[in-house]
Structure 1
Amino acid sequence: MSLASKVKTNLQYQNLWTNVTIHQVSDLEIVSGIPPNKLSSVDEENQVEWIIPKMFSQDKLSVSEIQNWFSKILELSGDIPRRITIAIINDDSTIVYYFIHNGITKPNQN
């Protein structure tokens, strides 16, 4: 099972996302979907989220790799998202999600 398939299954059945789709762009698999609730207070309802699956044991991330992700999503959607989510998959199939913002983001007040 590919990393993107593991993330898709996790989002659909554990996190209850809808419209979860795997996109193949060159050698990169990108997952998109709609969460059941807003992920941040500044999000719009039913906002499409973009997720990049990455194995925990893979090499470190580089800025150029992250910029490439935003460019590939621009090719798919016609718009650069203000953030993407990276899905870090561990050897035991645990998945942890982190936001990666496109540029500097003002912190939210809790």
Structure 2
Amino acid sequence: MVISDHLEALTKIVLHNLRYQHDWVEVHQYTKPELPRPMIYGLPPKRLYVHPDEQVAIIRAEKETGQRIEPEPELEWVLPLHLSEKWTPGQFAALFDAIDSIPPGGPDPDSFDLDDPASQWKLWQGPKRGKRVLLATVQDDSTVTYYWIFDGLVKPRQN
């Protein structure tokens, strides 16, 4: 994949922002022929997203064990975009088709214990995890704004 100067600059801005403004670690650029552009994946300092059903499973596990459960951070996909770009649903669908739900280096979805009722909430970090991408929208002044985008319909979170 030949990366244009424009895409390379966007990717560098977002990589820098994640590492030095948001304290992400293990941040890597990711390219493959099926992807329409380079992506990034990395590990944020704290958990960014908890699925609503995972939230319910965590509450159940906390009641069963009597201990507070604090979900650990997990690797996340990031897509650098410029504010002026217009993406279609078809482009996002192609992007989701080209990636796995868990970025490289994340847990193996087959390594989870499906029979342990106290750890059912952990399945949301593996086999139950849906595809999601953090859109990193870069503005002309290099400000980066982040938005979640999911593959398919996702139940709204409860606050």
Partner of 2:26: 19
CA deviations on 1:37-70 (whole Å, 9 max, x unpaired) are: 0012347523110011011112x21111001111
User: Counterpart of 1:67 in 2: which secondary structure?
Assistant: helix
**Distance in structure 1 (CA, Å) of the matches to 2:145 and 2:11:** 13
Which of 66, 91, 104 pairs up with 2:140? 91
**Distance in structure 2 (CA, Å) of the matches to 1:40 and 1:5:** 24
Gapped regions of structure 2 (runs ≥ 5)? 1-7, 55-70, 110-128
- The residue type paired with residue 91 of structure 1 is D
Q: Which TM-score applies when normalising by structure 1?
A: 0.86
- The residue type paired with residue 62 of structure 1 is T
Q: Runs (4+) of structure 1 moved beyond 4 Å?
A: 76-81
Moved more, 84-93 or 38-47: 38-47
**Distance in structure 2 (CA, Å) of the matches to 1:11 and 1:36:** 10
Q: CA RMSD in A?
A: 2.4
* Equivalences, count: 109
> For the Cα contact (< 8 Å) 1:70–1:81, is it kept in 2?
no
Partner of 1:8: 15
Partner of 1:102: 151
Name the structure where strand makes up a greater proportion of residues: 1
Partner of 1:38: 47
**Distance in structure 1 (CA, Å) of the matches to 2:38 and 2:23:** 21
In terms of Rg, which structure is larger?
2
> For the Cα contact (< 8 Å) 2:48–2:73, is it kept in 1?
no
Gapped regions of structure 1 (runs ≥ 5)? none
Name the structure where helix makes up a greater proportion of residues: 2
> For the Cα contact (< 8 Å) 1:20–1:34, is it kept in 2?
yes
**Distance in structure 2 (CA, Å) of the matches to 1:108 and 1:3:** 30
CA deviation after TM superposition for structure 1 residue 5, in Å: 1.1
Relative to structure 1, is the Cα distance of residues 102 and 31 closer, same or farther in structure 2, using a 3 angstrom cutoff? same
Relative to structure 1, is the Cα distance of residues 21 and 81 closer, same or farther in structure 2, using a 3 angstrom cutoff? farther
**Distance in structure 1 (CA, Å) of the matches to 2:98 and 2:11:** 15
